[in-house]
Structure 1
Amino acid sequence: MGRIKKKGISGAAKNYITRSRAVKKLQISLPDFRRLCIFKGIYPREPRKKKKVSKGSTAATTFYYTKDVQYLLHEPLLAKFREHKAVAKKIARALGRGEAGDAARLEKNLIPKIKLDHLVKERYPTFIDALRDLDDALSMLFLFASLPSSQHVPAKTISLCQRLCHEFEHYVIVSHSLRKSFLSIKGIYYQATIQGQDILWLVPYRFVQRTGGDIDFRIMGTFVEFYTTLLGFVNYRLYTSIGLVYPPKFNAKVDEQGGELGAFQLEGKGVSTNGNTTNGDKPVVVNPEAQAIADKIATLPGTEEAESETEALAPVDGDEEENTEGIDKFETTAPDADILPQPQVTGAEAASLFAGMVFYISREAPKAPLEFILPAFGCKRVGWDASLGDGAYTTNESDPSITHQIVDRPALSDAEAMAVPETTNGGAAAFKAQWPRSTMPGRTYVQPQWVWDCINQGKLLRPDIYAPGAELPPHLSPWVKPKKGEYDPNLPLQLQEPEVEALEEVEEDEEDEEAASDAKDASSIESGDDMAAIVDRDSSVEAGEGMDVVSSADEEEDSESDADAGADEWEGFESDAESDVSEGEAARIRHQRELEAEATGMAIEPEAQTTKSKNAALRKKAVKKRREEEEERERQKMMLSNKKRKLLKRIEYGSNKRDTEAENLRRKRRRIEKAKAAANAV
């Protein structure tokens, strides 16, 4: 007989450990334990059977893997934390005795410096691993770069985050790695493709940030401390991979004047002072020692990344360039086939989107994102108003070299549409733009959304749709593709609404038109002139006038209307032959009605009546077809097992919910289009 095992010494109970036991085992405080777990990338775990792990207890407890805690025992940062704790005790003792000078000396000289370089190398063995985990790091650093300095967020941390973010943006600009961007409620989303990895991050808008008291800045500050180290490593590797010197030169005076990106000067092969690749310009003189180090790192053999980078930098023959100019486009073979995911644009195509254009950013437009996006897609010269900061190509709004101006103001009136010529000293007339009072001739004025829509679609869109004051098209997320059956704002309603819904809409329009015409007739009868005419007619009643005579035609029409009403109330066991009216029968009925109207002197619209009857027949046929499909589907459900029937029910619930949402969106769009058509008619 085997030995009986004790409860809680093997299995799940041994694989998990509570947080209190982990803190006691490591002999550190709870804040230091949280900080160490964030640095090492260790997170709480939820066991499958919590009762077995907690020995029958159901209290809320945080668990970790026992192996992870055992792994933390050998971490060198534990010694740093203990040294910091010992120095903190000495500082507290000195402050208790009133020795402020000794406390300051201890804090300056004895506080241990914590470096996280070994953790970055440990958590990310290859550079591709670091790029894959860069989304959260960039989002957090861009968030802290926009926060105001406070007691919890020191100014030193904010300036470090701003510097690292601007360095990363410069790399994206020079390498033309940016692919998509989206303006959302939370902020601006950017997606860049770097060495085959898609990196998506969020940048908040430049609003005044108000931080609440319910935010734990200690936890966020710990993440920022690790992410700054990570992004510093990534920026160094990215800069050296394309032959740039890291870190770039930083001009503090330009930054104080609002230069931001313009405060950095890149150095390297074929890079000008403004961070753009030179095209015939004189290159900047580079430090030979720094460039030798950069070249050595960029061409290191033995890794797949270095080989791919050297192949990308190596010159190719003319035939190969011709073959790699464009990327393949996947086309569907059938109209109802699935839409294949298309490959993204190349760096050369992104670099040529805004090439040859000169942009000017008005002072009401967002300068920071446009200053980043436009050069990333090939624009070499970007100017803005002097009030937005330093570093612009030009601050003169009347510069004749400007081809596009980004404005976000109402439209101009006809009297203010052209620029007022200003006479110079030489007698020649020079145009001076004073927006919104005047515009420069030959210049294109667009709203900021035009830039985002152009880069998301990979082509230049019509600027007249995005003119100042114009109603902009919907700005859709480039990462969400509409599926079959869902609402698509880009398509007209006729192409995406079902047949029954379209017929119902036609009938509703006809009923609205009839109600409007009846109301119009009633209002005309109630007018004074018509009432006077009726009174005069009543005073001179001749023989036969004023009596309601029901003709045979009226009797037939009443009987037909009663029959139609009965058919609408209950369709009964109707066959296809009875529901479908033949063309010959419809022509005979139409001809009979025309003869009766001619005999009685009544006005009739045969085409309208025929169209209405056809729509009713089509709608009845579509409803019947849909009912038959539902019945067939119910018969098929009966053949399924209970488990599969429940699964299908959940699937149908989600599908019906999506269909209802799409129908509501189509109905809302239909109301908006009707309101616009009525306003235009007026």
Structure 2
Amino acid sequence: MGRIKKKGTSGAAKNYISRTRAVKKLQISLPDFRRLCIFKGIYPREPRNKKKVSKGSTTNTTYYYTKDIQYLLHEPLLAKFREHKAVAKKIGRALGRGEVGDAARLEKNLIPKIKLDHIIKERYPTFVDALRDLDDALSMLFLFANLPSSQHIPAKTITLCQRLCHEFEHYVIISHSLRKSFLSIKGIYYQATIQGQDIMWLVPYRFVQRTAGDIDFRIMGTFVEFYTTLLGFVNYRLYTSFGLVYPPKFDKKADEEGAELAAFQLQGKTISGAEAATNGKVPDAATSAKAQAEVDKLTASENVEDEAEETSTALVQVDEEGNTDVIDKFETTAQDADVLPQPQASSAEIASLFAPFTFYLSRETPRAPLEFILKAFGCKRVGWDGVLGEGAFTTKESDSSITHQIIDRPALPSGALSEVPDVPETVNGGAAPPKAQWPRSTMPGRTYVQPQWVWDCINQGKLLRPDLYAPGAELPPHLSPWVKPKKGEYDPTLPLEQQEPVGEAESFEEEEIEEEEEASDADDALAVDGKGMNIDAIVDRDSSVEAGEGMDVMSNDDDEDEDDDENEPIDDDWEGFESEAESEVSDTEVARRQHQHELEAEAAGVEPENKTLSAKEKKAEIRKKAEKKKLQEAEERERLKMMLPQRKRKLLKRIEHGTEKRDKEAENLRKKRRRIEKAREAANAL
């Protein structure tokens, strides 16, 4: 006879351990246990059967894998935590005795410093693993870089996050790794492709952030401590692989004046004393001869930059006229066919999208994201107003080299501004100075666009028409580049005629007419009520008596009315009352009778009357045909559904529920768009 197993010593009860038992086993406090689990990437687990794990208890308990806790027993950070606890006791005793100097000395000399280098190497054996886990790290660090300092968030942590984020942005700029971006309610989404890995992160808008009291900043601070170490290693690897010195030189004075990206000066490893310009002009130096040849090629391309700027406008016009070098697009011939994948431009062409242009950012535009995006897509010269900070290519709005100006203010009427004071007619050299700029006047030859033009251009990989994004113009919809419309869903980029089913427009017009009639009836009733009449007292005089009038006595006038009725001629064509069955004739019966009349007319040798239908009748006929076809399809579907087994029938029912829900959402969106377009047409007609 085998030995009887004791309950709770094998199976699920042995594989899981509660948090209380884990803390006792590691002999650390609960905050240190949480911190250690965040560093090591150990998270709570949910057992399949909690009763087996908890030996029949139903209390809500947090469980971990026993192997994970056993793995933590040999972690070197446990010794650091215990040393920190011992020093904290000594500091507390010194403060209790009033020895502030001794407490400061103990804190400065004996507090152990925790390093997470070995944990980074354990969790990410290869560099690709670190890149795959970089999304959350970048989002968290960019969030803390925009938070104000407080007692929970020290200023040195915010400074460290800002420095690491700017270093990463510099690498994205010089490597042209940025691919897409999207303006959302939460913030600005960016996607970069680094060594074949797509990395997406979120940057919040620069508003005044108010940190609530219900946020546990200790947990978030632990994540920030780990992510700063991770991003520091990633930046070092990216810079060295690109042939740059890490960390880059940092100009503290320029950073205090708001230079941000321009406060960093990148250096090549093999080029001594060759520092990059603060506005994004960096020589890509490398250790090998092949990389040095690439640097020489880039330097030669910068020399012909001015020529490219002069010919950029002509090149764009040639492409719009149908140049053969433009990438072909595959269009579907059938209406319900699948969307074919379109070929995309090469990364080199996309990286130099804004290379020939010089941009100027107005005061009201978001400088940081625009500067980052423009430089990441090849623009070397970005200027802005002096109030936005240092590091601009030019702070003069009247600079003649500016080709594009980004503004985000409404167009004002001509008489809304005061007159501009006179300026001297000539300056040094005899050239006339430019006049006052936007919104008083515009510079000839300069393109004025709104900020959305930049995002839409990079998402579509080409330069869009700037007149659609002119100041004060109604902008086209800004759509997410990661969401592709599926078959049957609403697509805001297509006109309504191409995506609405047959008869939907006609039914929508009928609904609008009915709503207008109901609204007019309600207005008439309110108007009658406003004249002092009681609507509830109005009753049919032929069938009842008004309240308060009493019985009316027959008068001579009534006799005269009866005599008049008797003298009226009786209609001989009257055939009795029409039954409900005859009044409610189906559409099929009407069509059958019409066909019968046509046959009788043809047999008698008489041509049938060709009745011309009005536009309203044509729309009603189209709607009826669409509804009839839809009803026939539904009946056919129900007939086929009855032939399926019950299990497949239930599955088909769930599929149809999802499809109907999707179609209903698309229909509501189309109705909303149709109302907006109709209101816009009415406004334009006025």
Pair in the same fold by TM > 0.5: yes
Counterparts of 1:124-273 in structure 2 under 5 Å?
Answer: 124-268=124-268, 272-273=276-277
Q: CA deviation at 1:430?
A: 2.4
Q: Aligned pair in 2 of structure 1 residues 334, 119: CA closer, same or farther (>3 Å)?
A: farther
1:643 corresponding residue in structure 2: 647
SS in 2 for 1:382: strand
Counterparts of 1:619-658 in structure 2 under 5 Å?
Answer: 619-658=623-662
User: Is 2:666 aligned against 1:662?
Assistant: yes
Whole-angstrom distance in 1 between the partners of 2:334 and 2:402: 46
Select which of 501, 505, 508 maps to 2:504. Answer: 501
Q: CA deviation at 1:345?
A: 4.9
1:295 corresponding residue in structure 2: 287
Whole-angstrom distance in 1 between the partners of 2:280 and 2:118: 34
Q: Aligned pair in 2 of structure 1 residues 123, 2: CA closer, same or farther (>3 Å)?
A: same
User: Once the two structures are aligned, what percentage of the paired residues are identical?
Assistant: 74
1:8 corresponding residue in structure 2: 8
Counterparts of 1:539-618 in structure 2 under 5 Å?
Answer: 571=586, 574=589, 606=612, 609-618=613-622
Whole-angstrom distance in 2 between the partners of 1:214 and 1:41: 24
Whole-angstrom distance in 1 between the partners of 2:293 and 2:56: 61
**Structure 1 stretches lacking a partner, 5+ long:** 285-290, 300-308, 316-324, 519-554, 594-605
Bigger Cα displacement from structure 2, 183-192 vs 410-419: 410-419
The AA in structure 2 aligned to 1:9 is T
1:108 corresponding residue in structure 2: 108
Q: CA deviation at 1:337?
A: 3.4
1:541 corresponding residue in structure 2: none
The answer as to whether partners of 1:169 and 1:372 remain within 8 angstroms in 2 is yes
Select which of 456, 460, 463 maps to 2:459. Answer: 456
The AA in structure 2 aligned to 1:66 is T
- 1:61-114 Cα offsets, whole Å, 9 max, x none, are 101001100110111101100110110111111111111111100000000010
Q: Aligned pair in 2 of structure 1 residues 445, 150: CA closer, same or farther (>3 Å)?
A: same
Whole-angstrom distance in 2 between the partners of 1:429 and 1:25: 82
The answer as to whether partners of 2:258 and 2:389 remain within 8 angstroms in 1 is yes
The answer as to whether partners of 1:183 and 1:189 remain within 8 angstroms in 2 is yes
1:552 corresponding residue in structure 2: none
Whole-angstrom distance in 2 between the partners of 1:330 and 1:51: 59
- 1:376-434 Cα offsets, whole Å, 9 max, x none, are 01111000000000000000000010000000011143579999986124654322233
The AA in structure 2 aligned to 1:646 is K
Whole-angstrom distance in 2 between the partners of 1:466 and 1:370: 16
SS in 2 for 1:441: coil
Q: CA deviation at 1:363?
A: 0.3
Q: CA deviation at 1:208?
A: 0.4
The answer as to whether partners of 2:598 and 2:608 remain within 8 angstroms in 1 is no
The AA in structure 2 aligned to 1:647 is L
Q: Aligned pair in 2 of structure 1 residues 581, 83: CA closer, same or farther (>3 Å)?
A: farther
The AA in structure 1 aligned to 2:387 is S
The AA in structure 2 aligned to 1:249 is K
Q: CA deviation at 1:573?
A: 5.7
Q: Aligned pair in 2 of structure 1 residues 514, 145: CA closer, same or farther (>3 Å)?
A: closer
2:490 corresponding residue in structure 1: 487
Q: CA deviation at 1:441?
A: 1.0
Counterparts of 1:509-548 in structure 2 under 5 Å?
Answer: none
Whole-angstrom distance in 1 between the partners of 2:496 and 2:131: 42
Q: Aligned pair in 2 of structure 1 residues 621, 415: CA closer, same or farther (>3 Å)?
A: same
The AA in structure 2 aligned to 1:670 is R
Whole-angstrom distance in 2 between the partners of 1:52 and 1:326: 67
2:425 corresponding residue in structure 1: 423
The AA in structure 1 aligned to 2:66 is T
Whole-angstrom distance in 2 between the partners of 1:471 and 1:568: 52
The answer as to whether partners of 1:405 and 1:444 remain within 8 angstroms in 2 is yes
The answer as to whether partners of 2:452 and 2:469 remain within 8 angstroms in 1 is yes
The answer as to whether partners of 2:8 and 2:14 remain within 8 angstroms in 1 is yes
The answer as to whether partners of 2:329 and 2:342 remain within 8 angstroms in 1 is yes
- 1:177-224 Cα offsets, whole Å, 9 max, x none, are 000000000000000011111100000000000000000000000000
Whole-angstrom distance in 1 between the partners of 2:240 and 2:328: 31
SS in 2 for 1:57: coil
The AA in structure 2 aligned to 1:18 is S
Whole-angstrom distance in 2 between the partners of 1:583 and 1:136: 75
Q: Aligned pair in 2 of structure 1 residues 332, 666: CA closer, same or farther (>3 Å)?
A: closer
The answer as to whether partners of 1:266 and 1:272 remain within 8 angstroms in 2 is yes
Counterparts of 1:52-63 in structure 2 under 5 Å?
Answer: 52-63=52-63
Q: Aligned pair in 2 of structure 1 residues 25, 397: CA closer, same or farther (>3 Å)?
A: same
RMSD value, Cα: 3.7
Q: CA deviation at 1:618?
A: 2.4
2:682 corresponding residue in structure 1: 678
Whole-angstrom distance in 2 between the partners of 1:664 and 1:648: 24
Bigger Cα displacement from structure 2, 250-259 vs 637-646: 637-646
Q: CA deviation at 1:327?
A: 9.2
Whole-angstrom distance in 1 between the partners of 2:99 and 2:93: 9
Whole-angstrom distance in 1 between the partners of 2:220 and 2:674: 46
Whole-angstrom distance in 2 between the partners of 1:579 and 1:25: 91
Q: CA deviation at 1:50?
A: 1.1
Q: Aligned pair in 2 of structure 1 residues 84, 329: CA closer, same or farther (>3 Å)?
A: farther
User: Is 2:96 aligned against 1:96?
Assistant: yes
Whole-angstrom distance in 2 between the partners of 1:329 and 1:387: 45
User: Is 2:448 aligned against 1:445?
Assistant: yes
The AA in structure 2 aligned to 1:571 is S
Q: CA deviation at 1:639?
A: 2.5
The AA in structure 1 aligned to 2:265 is Q
Q: CA deviation at 1:57?
A: 1.2
Q: CA deviation at 1:514?
A: 10
1:542 corresponding residue in structure 2: none
SS in 1 for 2:161: helix
Whole-angstrom distance in 2 between the partners of 1:568 and 1:674: 36
SS in 2 for 1:90: helix
Q: Aligned pair in 2 of structure 1 residues 662, 654: CA closer, same or farther (>3 Å)?
A: same
Matched positions, count: 598
SS in 1 for 2:119: helix
Q: Aligned pair in 2 of structure 1 residues 120, 366: CA closer, same or farther (>3 Å)?
A: same
Q: Aligned pair in 2 of structure 1 residues 515, 159: CA closer, same or farther (>3 Å)?
A: closer
The answer as to whether partners of 1:170 and 1:275 remain within 8 angstroms in 2 is no
Q: CA deviation at 1:624?
A: 1.3
**Structure 2 stretches lacking a partner, 5+ long:** 298-324, 522-571
TM-score, reference length from structure 2: 0.80
TM-score, reference length from structure 1: 0.80
Whole-angstrom distance in 2 between the partners of 1:64 and 1:103: 38
Whole-angstrom distance in 2 between the partners of 1:274 and 1:590: 84
The answer as to whether partners of 2:131 and 2:197 remain within 8 angstroms in 1 is yes
Whole-angstrom distance in 2 between the partners of 1:160 and 1:583: 88
User: Is 2:51 aligned against 1:51?
Assistant: yes
Bigger Cα displacement from structure 2, 346-355 vs 159-168: 346-355
Q: Aligned pair in 2 of structure 1 residues 498, 312: CA closer, same or farther (>3 Å)?
A: farther
The AA in structure 2 aligned to 1:681 is A
The answer as to whether partners of 2:363 and 2:385 remain within 8 angstroms in 1 is yes
Whole-angstrom distance in 2 between the partners of 1:497 and 1:254: 57
Q: Aligned pair in 2 of structure 1 residues 567, 226: CA closer, same or farther (>3 Å)?
A: farther
Q: CA deviation at 1:508?
A: 5.2
The AA in structure 1 aligned to 2:230 is L
SS in 2 for 1:125: coil
